[in-house]
Structure 1
Amino acid sequence: MNPAGGAPAPLPAAHPGREAGASGEQEAQLPAPSAALRRLAWAWLPGNAAFPFMWAALAGVLVALQVARIDPAGKVHSLGLITGAAAFTTLLVQPVVGRLSDNTRTRWGRRSPWILAGSVLGAAAVAVMGYVQSVGLLLVVYLVVVLTVNSAQLPMSALMPDRVPTARRGLFASLAAVGQSLGGLLGQLLASATHSHLILGYWSVALVMLVVMLAFVVLSRESAQPQPPREDFSWRALIGSYWVNPRRNPDFGWVFASRFLLLTGYFLTNSYQLYILQDYIGLGDRAVGYVPLTSVVTFTSVLVFGAVGGPLSDRLGRRRVFVQLSSYVFALGLLIPMVWPTVAGVLLSNVVGGIGYGIFGSVDSALMTEVLPTRAGYGKDLGVINLSWSLPQSVSPFVAGALITATGGYTVLFPLGAVLAVAGGVAVLFVRKVR
């Protein structure tokens, strides 16, 4: 991939002897037509940037600032309540949306209607947030955003196992990792630039996200191709959307555990990034001006390592070693602010953490798709494995808030996060059918 933002690199040839996912099935899909795959590659980076752009602007800056203005004395508790509830809603929504999109059959494909509808409704809800004047109503509107945007985001992620051959998924994982980091950076930059005018900030975020996703749906249109049979649909099956048997699919279970541990370590500190700069580093009101700087240094690291990790993993035919290495690097980055609680320490932590995230993100989505049990249920199974992201988001803010209250500071979060990250690297070693 061209780091300067040009066209995606030529797609690498498939490895004819590569193993299938955790179910042991042979690769079920035929190689996608070259033109369709290249259109998807062109759209994949900006498409994967749009939603992180929105989440970074809202969760990273705008919502935190709005909560602090509405409830300055109780901002830590209120923000923890909002972010935790939002993550819990994501936990509930994604598996069900995944199953519903699996069973959708339209002339526009089974994922595109969900992507389009979720993006339009989500953008409208984001625009409303700037007008809210109470924590309770802010929570309600934000949960509408979470519900609608996740109804688009999960079906979009299912396009990779739907349409990308296994041996090319490292490239797409790298495009996604760089896009996600770029979106996060731009979201925080825009939110920080509009922090004095929250309504303008929310409207700007909504419009950018909507325009990008409309372009994504058009450019990555789902071509007519045979679809797997629909699964039986019932309320029992809908409830079963939240479960994949780890005994029957042990690799799925270990990848779930690895992601859960590593991301829990990450969200312990990430959920309170602005407040760490304000209170732990001591920047006070100046902290909001440093958020874009931390994002820039993180993005630079992610760009360099995320751009090469996925294609390299495709060439080597290996995924696990990259996840293991990333967990150790990320743990090191977490420990830096504990021993060096300064702006320079935070910046160095973001550089090292960016390296870790670049390595992890460049192979994570590829590894994740290679342990999905069945093609017919890719959306549902992605929804389940994405709980390893949603659960840490739900649990970490409450755990972190309790630890901050109990200890009177943020210091304890850093070593605990590092231990969890290392544990995540160890768990991936038990995956057997993906190298």
Structure 2
Amino acid sequence: MTMPSEPLAPVDDVDAEIAFIEEAAGNEDPPTPIKGVRRLLWWIIPANMGVFIIWGAFLGILLPAQVAGLDSANKIANFAIISTVGAVFALFGQPIAGQISDRTRSRFGRRAPWIMIGSVVGALSLVGLAFADSFVGVLIAATIVQTAYNFAQGPLSAVMPDRVPIKRRGTFSALSGIGLMVGALGGQIVGSVFLGSIAAGYLFLAVFSVLMLTLFVIFNPDYSSKEVPREPFRFADFLRTFWVNPVKHPDFFWAFTGRTLLYAGYFTVTGYQFYILTDYIGIENPATVIPVLGLLTLAGILISTIVSGPLSDKVGRRKPFIFGSSVLVGVAMLAPMISPTLPAWMVMTFVAGLGFGMFQAVDTALMSQVLPSAKSFAKDLGVVNIAATLPQALAPAIAGAIVLGFGFVGLFPLGIALSVLGAFAVWPIKASR
């Protein structure tokens, strides 16, 4: 694999980058990026689309459809097993990828090599998944897909504390959230288009993802990390990858807890949309409505994201936006719980989109401000992102048990309770208002 060439940075900038990595924390401004902040702000949109289109199309539509095609009678249990195993591997993948990324020394910086490696391995795994025709084959390929793309996503998420000044992080987070949600929801639309040819859908996703992430790396070069001192590897430090002391870093703990609860509440319900539509609401052909639902969610997310991120920068506050987002997501779930109809589900997707967009626009900026050290930004963000992947790891099993025991209507009270609890978890944070 050939990495793109990188312009040589002035010596003073390289020295500043080394000093930042060695001494700074997440609440300090990094050196100005080689190509400037403005370019980075806009390129994060297609970069995030390149990752999150996978989660929207692969996890949300194509994989459950593929699993149902293998064994319709046992689709709920089989999908819970496959998605849970894959999410558990992804759970460990991001912190490990972050640790490796933090320690990487190359002329392309610490992040670019792993963004590229993760995207290429993920693409090859999607090609393998396209030709898998057994439960075991789908399980193995789907697990590699989730692990590989988390190896790309972890280093990509470290770009903000690495390169973006604090006063621009709300805007960067908003644009990042736009790319994330356009990718995830656009992925649902793409997935529904390829329901008639799942293999072709996987091939499309593989090509699109590699293209977007490659372009991001080419047009946003990072400083060389070759001269940054490398600390000796200690196995005990590796084991501590998955631990940040909540006593020493209470803000980190509360930010992690809030994100975990909100994601758990959201994905407990939306992660089962395909089956909710078919088995709870009674839609015979979900491909006819999923694009509309995706657009409704996208509209809600774009409205709240565009407003919330820059506004949080302007007022200098993050927590009120996160509180409001959690409440919106919880309230939205009342509609389908009360009325198991398509109009009620459409209301939920739009209102929950408003809430989740507000959350994505502000939470990432807040998270960047509670990171302990620039030496371990990617590792710590990998731990933070466990708060996103852990709910996805546990939600299929928990939600599957709830559906089997109480029916789909049992998902909504749990989703509401978790979302509202997520709102209250952010109030003890002191590093951000």
Instruction: Please confirm whether the aligned pair reaches a TM-score higher than 0.5, indicating the same fold.
Output: yes
> Corresponding residue for 1:242?
242
1:211-254 deviation digits (Å, cap 9, x = unpaired) = 11111110111134797643431222111100000000000000
Output the CA distance in 1 between the equivalents of 2:30 and 2:174. 22
1:237-275 deviation digits (Å, cap 9, x = unpaired) = 111100000000000000111111111111111221100
Q: Verify the 8 A CA contact 1:28 1:375 in the aligned structure 2.
A: no
Opposite residue 422 of structure 1, the aligned amino acid is V
> Corresponding residue for 1:190?
190
> Corresponding residue for 2:283?
283
Output the CA distance in 2 between the equivalents of 1:49 and 1:83. 21
Q: Verify the 8 A CA contact 1:119 1:149 in the aligned structure 2.
A: yes
1:262-312 deviation digits (Å, cap 9, x = unpaired) = 11111111221100000100113x123211111110001111110121111
Q: Verify the 8 A CA contact 2:192 2:290 in the aligned structure 1.
A: yes
- Residue pairs, 1:211-290, within 5 angstroms: 211-224=211-224, 229-284=229-284, 286-290=285-289
Give me the identity figure in percent. 38
Output the CA distance in 1 between the equivalents of 2:157 and 2:239. 21
1:30-89 deviation digits (Å, cap 9, x = unpaired) = 441584222211211111111111111101111011000001000000111111111111
> In the superposition, relative to structure 1, how do residues 258 and 30 fare at CA in structure 2: closer, same or farther (>3 Å)?
closer
Q: Verify the 8 A CA contact 1:274 1:288 in the aligned structure 2.
A: no
Opposite residue 137 of structure 1, the aligned amino acid is G
RMSD (CA atoms)? 1.7
> In the superposition, relative to structure 1, how do residues 69 and 153 fare at CA in structure 2: closer, same or farther (>3 Å)?
same
> Corresponding residue for 1:430?
428
- Structure 1: gaps (5+ residues): 1-22
> Corresponding residue for 2:4?
none
State the SS of the aligned residue for 1:107: coil
Q: Deviation at 1:419?
A: 0.8
Q: Verify the 8 A CA contact 1:64 1:79 in the aligned structure 2.
A: yes
Output the CA distance in 2 between the equivalents of 1:97 and 1:30. 22
> In the superposition, relative to structure 1, how do residues 429 and 28 fare at CA in structure 2: closer, same or farther (>3 Å)?
closer
1:183-216 deviation digits (Å, cap 9, x = unpaired) = 1222122211111111111111111111111111
Q: Which ranges of 4 or more aligned residues in structure 1 deviate by more than 2 Å?
A: 23-31, 33-36, 223-232
Output the CA distance in 1 between the equivalents of 2:232 and 2:334. 49
Q: Verify the 8 A CA contact 1:86 1:394 in the aligned structure 2.
A: yes
> In the superposition, relative to structure 1, how do residues 228 and 325 fare at CA in structure 2: closer, same or farther (>3 Å)?
farther
Structure 1 residue 417 corresponds to structure 2 residue 415: yes
Output the CA distance in 2 between the equivalents of 1:80 and 1:214. 32
> In the superposition, relative to structure 1, how do residues 114 and 346 fare at CA in structure 2: closer, same or farther (>3 Å)?
same
- Structure 2: gaps (5+ residues): 1-22
Output the CA distance in 2 between the equivalents of 1:392 and 1:246. 20
> Corresponding residue for 1:381?
380
State the SS of the aligned residue for 1:132: coil
> Corresponding residue for 2:136?
136
> Corresponding residue for 1:5?
none
Q: Deviation at 1:25?
A: 5.7
> In the superposition, relative to structure 1, how do residues 289 and 105 fare at CA in structure 2: closer, same or farther (>3 Å)?
same
> Corresponding residue for 2:313?
314
Q: How many residues align?
A: 411
Q: Deviation at 1:98?
A: 0.5
Q: Deviation at 1:147?
A: 1.8
Output the CA distance in 1 between the equivalents of 2:30 and 2:24. 17
Q: Verify the 8 A CA contact 2:106 2:226 in the aligned structure 1.
A: no
State the SS of the aligned residue for 2:377: helix
> Corresponding residue for 1:103?
103
Output the CA distance in 1 between the equivalents of 2:106 and 2:41. 23
Q: Verify the 8 A CA contact 1:230 1:376 in the aligned structure 2.
A: no
Output the CA distance in 2 between the equivalents of 1:384 and 1:186. 27
> In the superposition, relative to structure 1, how do residues 294 and 26 fare at CA in structure 2: closer, same or farther (>3 Å)?
closer
State the SS of the aligned residue for 1:430: coil
Q: Verify the 8 A CA contact 2:254 2:425 in the aligned structure 1.
A: yes
> Corresponding residue for 1:54?
54
